[in-house]
Chains A and B, each alone.
Chain A
Amino acid sequence: MNTETVLVDIIASTGTIRERVTLSDERRSFTIGRSVTADVVLDDPHAAALHAEVAIAADGQTTVRDLGSTNGVMVAGKRHHDRVALPAGSSAFGIGRTHIRVRTQHEALLPEQPDRHVIASVLQHAGPIAAGTAAVCLAQSLYSDWFGAPRDLAANAVMSIGVSAAVAAVWTAAWGLLTRIMLGEWHWLRHAAIFLGAVALYNGINAVLDFATFVLSLSPWTGQHTWLALLALGMGLYFHLINASSLPTRRAAMIATAVFAVLGGAGWWLDTRDTNRNVNLVKSQFRIYPSSWRLAGPESVDSYFRRAPALRAATDRRRDAVLKSDREDDSP
């Protein structure tokens, strides 16, 4: 930046810079208002034709003088109808409903922030990542088809890949469009990488958990698929948001967490309700692998049936809960 230059940023209510005006500092002052005769022209109906004059002293001290407007000048939360010097370290003030920031060579800049956004940085290489995750998803899809040993593997594979590709394309296009609107860029490779990465992660963790459940002879976790899907959705949403908008990462994380919590909570509530109301629901999703992979040994028949009373107690608790619910429903 030329040291003889002054920047005037007109800032939208969202915090983004709507317009930036570059002025030569030869005059060391300029006017702001709706009139075309003003040096900085605003489209704010709450501003006067010539609303205020800004003067910049040699030491960088900025002074704003109200030129007889109705609404005055807002500085540090107070309305002024006369001349006011901006507080030290501040260069912002308000006219009408517009925020204005004046930047000179005397502006105190914050130190450079270290970039801890590693994954976002990684997404600078979105092309190779999208290609890699697409290859992983393709492999998972082909493996899934092959695993099911259908009679016509080729037809099944083409169908499942086609459907998956269509879903990925629609999802990516939607986020690309949003990014185009918000930031003026498509970033479709980034969004494709995010979507495909989330899907690959979901499939991979599911497979690992299924296998671990079998190997360790554990009871199946009935909510596995649902919670993993929500986790993938939450993570994906976070990365989509920070790449599709200028949202701060903290706010994007809060939105993604909120979506995860709301959907998870609603899903948990519906699932609990269904579990308690659907008398035919039997949750028994478990995969069977070659038994030579089992690490935990089987239980003896004697041992299993010694614990039968525990199952009876659990069954009776469920019945008692239903009967209690009935009594509550019947009560006036």
Chain B
Amino acid sequence: MSVMRWLTAAMLAWCLSSPNAVHAQAQQSPTAVVPAASENARTVLARVQPAVIQVKGFFGANSAQAFHGTGFAVRAGGIFVTNYHVVAERVQYPDKYRLEYRTPDGATGPIEVLAVDVRHDLAIIRAKGFAPQPLVFDRTPPPKGARAYAVGYPLDVGLTITEGVSNGQVEDSFEPRIHYSGAINAGMSGGPAMNASGEVIGANVSAYLFQQLVSFLVPVAHIADLAAHVTDAVPETSALQQSVVTQMRAHSSDLLDALKPPFVTQVSAGYALPGKIAPFVNCNAAGAPVSEDPVQMVRISCSAKAGIYVQQGLSSGDIKFEHYVLSTDKLDAWRFGGRLSALSQASGAFGQRRHVAPFACEHRVLALKGFDADLMTCTRGYRKLDGLYDFVIRISSLSGGAGRGFASHLDMYGLEFDAGMAFVRRYLEAMAYLPSEAKR
């Protein structure tokens, strides 16, 4: 819900309403029939509307909002759920931000944060002075193709319902998400998503920008679990912050547990390198089919896509790696080494000074299976997330065979140090040079 997100969303909205789009609509056949809004959408909206609020965040004493999202009643007594990322700034900087709700009728009041679940991007809040009837949950995973609806306050233009299709749980996702083929825009975060009967199947959480209606919901089971365990007592902010740290560490531990060997490797130019090491790790490989360059390169990119939103400008708890495999039949080893050097430099580590400390690095030459490699290991700690570290690892070698070399970039964010280094070791030990495969 950052300013950047707002700007991006605003740009997207502008593009969709640009003169070209209007022109395209004007050129439609006059006999074309625009389908009427779904009667069922009206019914669903009417059913859920009394239990939906807009969650607004304010910086300091400003009356103009800094960000906003949506929430809906999950328990009696004014207990609502929204996304953690909607209230994250309030949790991390309680003396800088305050939260308020606004009902569809225009009533307003303060909000208290009762519990957070950063792994599923959920937060339980209490709206003081507003206690509607909670919505009904449907814990049955929605089948692919089932009608679904999402409600929220997109771009602050008022309460809105969008109609789409549930496509079941996202395949090979580390954290469970429901794939919703319908519009979810900035400001709808934390709003309810319903089946055709108006029962809640999840909470709006995210969408791919500049794609075609690829949106995601947090399954309702996690909402129910979190709501069931929350107490009426308002926790200290420090307790909420510690809860974030604890959950991030649990996420780190679970992620690395799910990445235990034996690792699946991919062989390229004789080097066996870690590939799709878990079902939820997505990999793709690409190279230039025709190139005048004397060095041929295959780039293999893998990502666990397990990152968690912690606060503005900080997503963590993720692992990604890339291999740049080089081969040449034209260059001598000296010049080939020069090319490899350019790919061995560490760059692309992004972080903000308010979240992380600077890196400490060391360089070593290690004996791996069938080859020697230069290893650059850089680590940095988090300021608030005590015990979590980022890792930037660069491995490069051309010692396997003549005209064959690679540079591997392993970037890990928000992991515990020992567990992270243990993963680095597994990663290194999975590498090998296979002379018989060198010409492939």
Chain A residues in the interface with B (C-beta under 8 A): 146-149, 151, 217, 219-220, 275-291, 294, 296-301, 304-305, 308, 311-312, 314-319, 321-323, 326
- A284/B351 in contact, CB under 8 A: no
Most B-side CB within 10 Å, residue of A282, A299, A300: A282
Separation of A319 and B390 alpha carbons in the complex (Å): 12
**Interchain residue pairs A-B with the least CB separation, the first 8:** A291-B399, A319-B381, A319-B357, A290-B333, A282-B346, A298-B367, A314-B360, A217-B365
- A147/B335 in contact, CB under 8 A: yes
> Could you write out 5 A-B pairs with CB less than 8 Å apart?
A148-B338, A275-B358, A279-B351, A286-B341, A287-B338
Question: Which residues on A sit within 8 Å (CB–CB) of B352?
Answer: 279
Q: How many residues of B contact A (CB 8 A)?
A: 63
A144 closest partner in B (C-beta):
B338
Question: Which residues on B sit within 8 Å (CB–CB) of A276?
Answer: 358
CB distance from A22 to the nearest CB of B (A): 67
Separation of A326 and B376 alpha carbons in the complex (Å): 29
Question: Which residues on A sit within 8 Å (CB–CB) of B207?
Answer: none
Which of A277, A284, A311 contacts B345, CB < 8 Å? A284
Chain A CB within 8 A of B225 CB: no
CB distance from B172 to the nearest CB of A (A): 30
Which of B340, B357, B374 contacts A279, CB < 8 Å? B357
- B364/A146 in contact, CB under 8 A: no
Separation of A317 and B339 alpha carbons in the complex (Å): 35
Separation of A318 and B371 alpha carbons in the complex (Å): 33
Which of A296, A301, A321 contacts B368, CB < 8 Å? A301
Question: Which residues on A sit within 8 Å (CB–CB) of B399?
Answer: 291
- A149/B366 in contact, CB under 8 A: no
Given A281-B359, A319-B380, A319-B382, 12 more pairs with CB closer than 8 A: A147-B334, A148-B335, A148-B338, A149-B338, A275-B358, A277-B353, A279-B357, A279-B380, A284-B344, A286-B363, A287-B341, A311-B362
Chain A CB within 8 A of B295 CB: yes
Separation of A314 and B335 alpha carbons in the complex (Å): 35
- B359/A149 in contact, CB under 8 A: no
Which of A219, A301, A308, A319 contacts B383, CB < 8 Å? A319
Interface string of B372-384 (1 = CB under 8 A from A): 1111111111110
Question: Which residues on B sit within 8 Å (CB–CB) of A318?
Answer: 357-360, 380-381
Which of A219, A305, A317 contacts B362, CB < 8 Å? A219
Question: Which residues on A sit within 8 Å (CB–CB) of B362?
Answer: 219, 311, 314
Chain A CB within 8 A of B361 CB: yes
- B366/A299 in contact, CB under 8 A: yes
Chain A CB within 8 A of B436 CB: no
- A149/B358 in contact, CB under 8 A: no
Question: Which residues on B sit within 8 Å (CB–CB) of A285?
Answer: 345
CB distance from B118 to the nearest CB of A (A): 21
Separation of A146 and B331 alpha carbons in the complex (Å): 11
- A301/B429 in contact, CB under 8 A: yes
Question: Which residues on A sit within 8 Å (CB–CB) of B389?
Answer: 315
Which of A290, A312, A314, A321 contacts B334, CB < 8 Å? A290
A284-B337 contact in complex given A318-B358, A323-B383, C-beta closer than 8 Å: no
Separation of A300 and B379 alpha carbons in the complex (Å): 21
Chain A CB within 8 A of B397 CB: yes
Chain A CB within 8 A of B269 CB: no
Interface string of B280-310 (1 = CB under 8 A from A): 0000000000001111000000000000000
- A288/B337 in contact, CB under 8 A: yes
Question: Which residues on A sit within 8 Å (CB–CB) of B394?
Answer: 284
Chain A CB within 8 A of B13 CB: no
Question: Which residues on A sit within 8 Å (CB–CB) of B355?
Answer: 279
Question: Which residues on A sit within 8 Å (CB–CB) of B397?
Answer: 288, 291
- A308/B421 in contact, CB under 8 A: yes
Which of A277, A278, A286, A294 contacts B372, CB < 8 Å? A294
Most B-side CB within 10 Å, residue of A279, A289, A294, A314: A279
Separation of A148 and B365 alpha carbons in the complex (Å): 24
CB distance from A182 to the nearest CB of B (A): 44
Which of B340, B358, B421 contacts A288, CB < 8 Å? B340
CB distance from A78 to the nearest CB of B (A): 64
Separation of A311 and B362 alpha carbons in the complex (Å): 8
B350 closest partner in A (C-beta):
A280
Separation of A305 and B393 alpha carbons in the complex (Å): 14
- B379/A311 in contact, CB under 8 A: yes
- B359/A282 in contact, CB under 8 A: yes
- A282/B361 in contact, CB under 8 A: yes
- A304/B379 in contact, CB under 8 A: no
- B338/A311 in contact, CB under 8 A: no
Interface string of B396-424 (1 = CB under 8 A from A): 11110000010000000000011001000
Separation of A312 and B419 alpha carbons in the complex (Å): 12
Chain A CB within 8 A of B428 CB: yes
Chain A CB within 8 A of B392 CB: yes
Question: Which residues on B sit within 8 Å (CB–CB) of A280?
Answer: 349-351, 359
Separation of A318 and B358 alpha carbons in the complex (Å): 6
Separation of A323 and B367 alpha carbons in the complex (Å): 37
Question: Which residues on B sit within 8 Å (CB–CB) of A321?
Answer: 357
CB distance from B297 to the nearest CB of A (A): 13
Question: Which residues on B sit within 8 Å (CB–CB) of A287?
Answer: 337-338, 341
CB distance from B333 to the nearest CB of A (A): 4
Question: Which residues on B sit within 8 Å (CB–CB) of A316?
Answer: 381
Which of A149, A217, A277, A300 contacts B294, CB < 8 Å? A149
Question: Which residues on B sit within 8 Å (CB–CB) of A217?
Answer: 364-365
A288-B396 contact in complex given A279-B353, A318-B380, A319-B383, C-beta closer than 8 Å: yes
- B378/A305 in contact, CB under 8 A: no
Chain A CB within 8 A of B347 CB: yes
- A147/B398 in contact, CB under 8 A: no
Most B-side CB within 10 Å, residue of A146, A147, A300, A315: A315
Chain A CB within 8 A of B66 CB: no
Chain A CB within 8 A of B159 CB: no
Question: Which residues on A sit within 8 Å (CB–CB) of B331?
Answer: 149
A317-B360 contact in complex given A284-B344, A301-B425, A301-B429, C-beta closer than 8 Å: yes
Which of A288, A300, A304 contacts B398, CB < 8 Å? A288
Most B-side CB within 10 Å, residue of A149, A294, A317: A149
Chain A CB within 8 A of B356 CB: yes
A277-B366 contact in complex given A312-B417, A315-B379, A316-B381, C-beta closer than 8 Å: no
